[in-house]
């Protein structure tokens, strides 16, 4: 089974958060509203590709790619 992450999404694509791949970073992401079961939408990336902007829990959130790759999606 191939696990996808938020970093795999393209601009305008949406997915559902299924969990996290980094226990140390998961608490920070949970506090920012990245809750399992919540929809997440990739809005756009910065000109050099990092950071990215996503919409989750009713607001826009900027994430570094190394953070986005730890959010698993379905």
Kindly report the pTM of this predicted structure: 0.92
**CB contact at 8 A, 26 and 17:** no
22-73 pLDDT, tens digit per residue, is 999 999 999 999 999 999 999 999 999 999 999 999 999 999 999 999 999 9
User: Smallest Cα–Cα separation from 9: which of 50, 44, 33, 36?
Assistant: 44
pLDDT of 56 reads 96
């Amino acid at each position: 089974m191939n696990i996808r992450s938020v970093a795999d999404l393209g601009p305008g694509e949406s997915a559902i958060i299924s969990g996290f791949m980094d226990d140390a970073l998961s608490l920070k992401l949970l506090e920012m509203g990245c809750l399992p079961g919540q929809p997440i939408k990739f809005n756009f990336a910065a000109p050099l590709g990092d950071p990215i902007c996503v919409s989750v829990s009713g607001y826009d959130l900027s994430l570094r790619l190394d953070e986005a790759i730890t959010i698993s999606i379905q």
